[in-house]
Each structure stands twice: as C-alpha cells, then as structure tokens.
Amino acid sequence: MRLSPHIAKFFFVMANLAVIIIGSNLAMAEENKIIVYGTDSCPITKRYTQALDELHVPYEYKIITDSKNQDEMWLKLTNAGYSRQSVDLPVLQYQGEVASRPTLSHVIQPYLSPDFLPQQYKIVVYGPNSGRTAALLKDLTVLKINFEYKDISQPKENAEMFKFVPGKSVYPPVVVVNKKVLTNPMITSVLLALKPQ
C-alpha cells in the first residue's frame, strides 16, 4: 500500500516534531540534574554529597582537580555572573541554576515529596544568634517546617538545652525533634529525624 504525498508529509512532520520534543526534554532533564563540583579534600563538599546521599537525591559528582571538570565549572560560573574571587566549594548546578555553596534546602526542596513530613511533629532549636544557627533556621523556613527557636544567650533557655544534652561541651545549635537530640546538625539530619520510622 502506497501513502499519499500528504500523508507521507504528515508523518515526516510528526517524526521531526517528536525529535524536537524528545531533544528539548533531554536538554531540560540535563538542566534540572544536580551536578556537584568539588574536591575530595573539601569538608563542605563532603557534607553536601553526604546530605544528598542520605536523602537519596540523585546527583553527579565532578572532581575539579580534573582540568576538564574545572573548565566546565568555571564556564558555568562565568555565565552565571561569578568572578574567580567570589567562589566557595562546592559549586552546584541545580534547577537550571549554578551557585557557589547554595543553601542546601533550596537544592533538596524539589526532591521532598509532599508526604515526606509527618502530620504531627515538634522541633525545638536551641542556639546562639550565630551564623550556623541562622543557616539552620533559614533551611527550616525555606522547607516550611514549623519550629520553635530558643536563644541560649538567655539563662533559662541555656539551662533548658542542657537538660537534653548533659555534659559540659556542646557545639550548638542543638535540635530536639521526635524525642531525638541532634547537635550541630545539617538540615538533612533534621529531615531524617522527622521521617516516620
């Protein structure tokens, strides 16, 4: 059976359209893939990759001691408006963006399913008004997780914190969640403590 020229042209156009759609979907998937650029000797890079591993978030790790990976990272950073003086490791490509040491909550947020968090939970964050505490509070806020903050520069809150952490030496913030006590946790540790067993 022979196809009429109109039907043959229709199939040709549809095949080309399918190639264009598949190609754009592949490009979009590549843009949304998480790529971590860093070094094995960087402790913060290790914390980020550990966090992604703990939450089972897929990513590709590129070691920048390899010149090809380093050139690729700098090209992406330059295109994103970064200068060589303003970059801290790790550098991440995620959600179509490239950022030097982005807030981890922004990176993982799209990968948390709506039913990840249990209905009932209580988080109390004890800490000083410091950068590490502020970063954790920001992560909790970005992820829309309810919490109560207690400033340990106040004697009452400081004494309350030490009820949970008996001992003389503590590195805050201290987070109490689901009857678990976490000291100086990353946001992933808090999320895993929230996750139903």
Tens digit of each residue's pLDDT (9 = 90 or more) over 59-115: 999 999 999 999 999 999 999 989 887 789 999 999 889 999 988 888 888 877 766
pLDDT at residue 24, rounded to an integer: 39
CB within 8 Å of 70: residues ≥ 6 apart: 37, 64
CB atoms within 10 A of CB 197: 4
Topology of 115-194 in CATH?
Glutaredoxin (3.40.30)
Asked if the domains at 32-110 and 115-194 fall in one CATH topology, the answer is yes
Residue 125 has pLDDT above 90, yes or no: yes
Instruction: Give the whole-angstrom CA distance, residue 104 versus residue 82.
Output: 19
Topology of 32-110 in CATH?
Glutaredoxin (3.40.30)
Stated as kind and residue range, the H or E segment containing 94 is strand 91-94
Q: Where are the domains of the chain?
A: 32-110, 115-194
Instruction: Give the whole-angstrom CA distance, residue 187 versus residue 55.
Output: 11
Stated as kind and residue range, the H or E segment containing 100 is strand 97-100
Instruction: Give the whole-angstrom CA distance, residue 145 versus residue 187.
Output: 11
Tens digit of each residue's pLDDT (9 = 90 or more) over 128-146: 988 889 989 998 888 888 8
